[in-house]
Structure 1
Amino acid sequence: MTNSVAGTKPGKRERLIEAAVRVFYERGVEKTTIAEIARVADVPVGNVYYYFKTKDQLIEAAIGAHARTLDQLVAELDRLETPQERLKALIDGWVGERELAARYGCPFGSLTAELHKRDDPLEGRASEVMQELVDWARTQFEAMGRPDAARLAIALIASYQGISLLTNAFRDPELMVTEGERLRDWIDSL
């Protein structure tokens, strides 16, 4: 990702946020240090505190980055003509990330679960972002005329979270391919 001027390096704050998202995903919140994030961001560790006073502020910024990514994804999906196409494109995107899921699990689901274990005030913000995805899926099922849209949305997101966990546990990306095919067929059957 680059700034608006082609070829320029993102600013330190943006690099720190990108690094936090990546390192939290790969190592988890508890195992991650501010020094590691600074190293990945190519920012002197002392400069981190100019932008983020605490690790929790970096976590909050990472949650915000996930929210922006979700907003961008939803905007792209909403360009598709039918709710079925939008839902299947979401599934295809998940399947496309299967190698990362096999290694680290779901990027946002893992973070959310970890924050819940900490009895962290940030868990509420993470849950809000997850709720945005569930709400978007619900609107797609509603557009399909389904009176059970809320239940279907939960089932879809739960299927993805479950297969992400199993894909990671068994280090088998093909599990996600198989579940993606099942979910696409399920969407077609509704």
Structure 2
Amino acid sequence: MTNLKKSDVLTKRGKRERLTAAAVRMLHEQGVEKTTLADIAQAADVPVGNVYYYFKTKDELVEAALSEHTRHLETLTGRLDQLPDPRERLKGLVNAWVGQRDITARYGCPTGTLAVELDKRTDSGLDIAAGHAIRRLLDWVEQQYRQMGVADPEDLALAFVGAYQGMSLLSNALRDPEIMTRGGARLVRELDNLT
């Protein structure tokens, strides 16, 4: 009986994780308004009726997707924090962004596009949650500039993340992944020239 319960727990966790991963992908590709629970269920290979066992509403799935964005950011910055130099950490972040250039050119920044869309739906509070995910990125970038000992680390962080959002938007709008490559190279040059 104990093994059956463990198996049930693993199956439950597996389905929930698949649904969350599918929500992240579908919301990025289609947006909140166009994505249905049935779309997410199909992408997760979970019967649509089972979705309600894990998530009562689409907003709960959106919230899970936002949590996944935050978890992904924390995983990425955690790996980058292993680098001894904050300048190299920021370059590593740029490289990660540029590495996603084809997806960004097609769908935009996953968190940024979701934040913009959720801002139109202020009744759910999800717009605030999306802002928190972006705030975590800003705070991490600012911390790197502080460790570098440069003047105005908060302003530099805003400009750095703003540049990423701008190049993501342009890359997506023009369907040109090379905008990410060129924008990333510019950010790296700026980091190299910072004293």
TM category (shorter chain) comes to over 0.9
Q: Name the amino acid aligned to 1:123.
A: D
Partner of 2:138: 134
TM-score w.r.t. the length of structure 2 is 0.92
Equivalent of 1:184 in 180, 183, 188: 188
Q: Does residue 75 in structure 1 map to residue 107 in structure 2?
A: no
Query: What is the CA distance between 1:125 and its match in structure 2?
Result: 1.0
Q: Does residue 88 in structure 1 map to residue 91 in structure 2?
A: yes
Map 1:89-128; keep pairs closer than 5 Å: 89-119=92-122, 120-128=124-132
Number of aligned residue pairs: give it.
183
CA distance in 1: counterparts of 2:130 and 2:60, whole angstroms:
13
Q: Name the amino acid aligned to 1:144.
A: M
Equivalent of 2:35 in 15, 32, 36: 32
Q: Does residue 45 in structure 1 map to residue 48 in structure 2?
A: yes
Q: Does residue 146 in structure 1 map to residue 150 in structure 2?
A: yes
Structure 1 unaligned regions, length at least 5: 1-7
Q: Percent identity?
A: 54
CA distance in 2: counterparts of 1:65 and 1:40, whole angstroms:
16
Query: What is the CA distance between 1:99 and its match in structure 2?
Result: 0.2
Runs of 4+ in 1 over 3 A off after TM superposition: none
Cα RMSD between the aligned structures?
1.2
Partner of 2:163: 159
- Post-superposition CA distance 1:35-85 (Å, at most 9, x none): 000000000000000000000000010011111111101100000110110
Q: Which has the larger radius of gyration?
A: 2
Partner of 2:6: none
- Post-superposition CA distance 1:71-120 (Å, at most 9, x none): 10110000011011000000011001000011000011001111001123
SS in 2 for 1:131: helix
CA distance in 2: counterparts of 1:82 and 1:160, whole angstroms:
21
Partner of 2:4: none
Partner of 1:4: none
Structure 2 unaligned regions, length at least 5: 1-9
Report which of the two has the higher share of helix. 2
SS in 1 for 2:96: helix
CA distance in 2: counterparts of 1:49 and 1:178, whole angstroms:
44
Query: What is the CA distance between 1:147 and its match in structure 2?
Result: 2.5
Q: Does residue 66 in structure 1 map to residue 69 in structure 2?
A: yes
